[in-house]
Amino acid sequence: MHGSASSLSASVSSWLLVLLCAVSGAYCLRRVRGWGGAAAGEAVMGFGMALMAVPLGDGGAWRPPVLGAVFCAAAVHALWLLRGGAHHAHHLVGSLTMVYMAAAAGSGGGHGTAHGQGAGLPLLTGALLLYYAGYVVLGGTRLITAGGPVAVPAPAPVPAPALRQAEVQAHVMSTELVRACRLAMGMGMLAMLLSM
């Protein structure tokens, strides 16, 4: 009886993770026009994470090699984006983390199994857990403090102050949604690493 309750709990949490990642991926996909390549990479990350989190049991043997290939391509794309600045390094880390998790799942040490029983936590998994825990804490802190007043220098003269204020408010809301989306994917990645 206890085993079935534990299995149900794991299944529900897996489906909640699928939903979180899929919604984040859909939001990023919707924003591709405004964000460009970074949003496309984040959309791929969200949908890939959702697909990897789907609890298929033994019927998902095709997933590790397919997702490994997709995220190797995403890592190459992230390397290309690094030309635009180091702030794209997180996309590279995320893509390589997904390749690592796909390889672990393909070798039998993936989600829901005891990864390296008796050997303790693998060093790379531990380092990635620390990275994503820090990312989530920092992202949450930024999101909490983002609601404060925003100082936007206004060009002189301002013909329609109400319109300008509405544009500023829309920009702030969009920025906060982007941060929330990234935070959600960071929490999803942390949850997936914890389940390895």
d(Cα 117, Cα 106) in Å, to the nearest integer?
Answer: 16
Q: What total number of domains does the chain contain?
A: 1
- Nearest Cα neighbor of 35 from 76, 79, 99, 91 is 91
Question: Which range of residues forms the domain containing residue 11?
Answer: 2-194
d(Cα 156, Cα 164) in Å, to the nearest integer?
Answer: 12
Instruction: Report pLDDT digits (tens) over 75-131.
Output: 998 898 888 888 789 989 999 999 999 998 888 755 544 344 444 568 999 999 999
d(Cα 143, Cα 90) in Å, to the nearest integer?
Answer: 17
Instruction: Report pLDDT digits (tens) over 118-133.
Output: 445 689 999 999 999 9
Reported pTM = 0.74
Return the sign of the alpha-carbon dihedral for residues 148, 191, 120, 5.
Answer: positive
